């Protein structure tokens, strides 16, 4: 997986008013990646002001699939 790849990421996310994490899936383009964080852009339209980014702690990722 590299920056620019389109991916499906399955990870555990926080969940308000719960004692457990919530399984989450996001689809999008890998924006940046580091040893600790993967940033996926799931929506990008008409420039930076209309973008949805997901910063995901790599320790919470269960699976990544390049689409």
The chain-wide mean pLDDT, for the chain, equals 95
> Does position 26 have pLDDT exceeding 90, yes or no?
yes
DSSP character for 18?
A: -
- The CA distance from 8 to 5, in Å, is 10
Mean pLDDT within 12-31? 95
Mean pLDDT within 44-53? 85
Mean pLDDT within 30-40? 97
User: What does each C-alpha distance from 4 to 7, 13, 15, 21, 53 come to in angstroms?
Assistant: 9, 23, 29, 28, 14
> Does position 48 have pLDDT exceeding 90, yes or no?
no
Mean pLDDT within 27-56? 93
DSSP character for 31?
A: E
- The CA distance from 18 to 7, in Å, is 28
The pair of structure tokens assigned to 67 is: 């689409």
| Predicted local confidence at residue 47, as pLDDT | 73
């Amino acid at each position: 997986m590299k920056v620019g790849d389109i991916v499906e990421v399955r990870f555990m996310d926080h969940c308000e008013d719960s004692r457990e994490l919530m399984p989450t899936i996001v689809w999008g383009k890998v924006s940046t990646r580091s040893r600790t964080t993967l940033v996926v852009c799931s929506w990008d339209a008409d420039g930076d002001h209309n973008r949805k980014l997901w910063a995901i702690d790599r320790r919470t990722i269960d699976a990544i699939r390049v689409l």
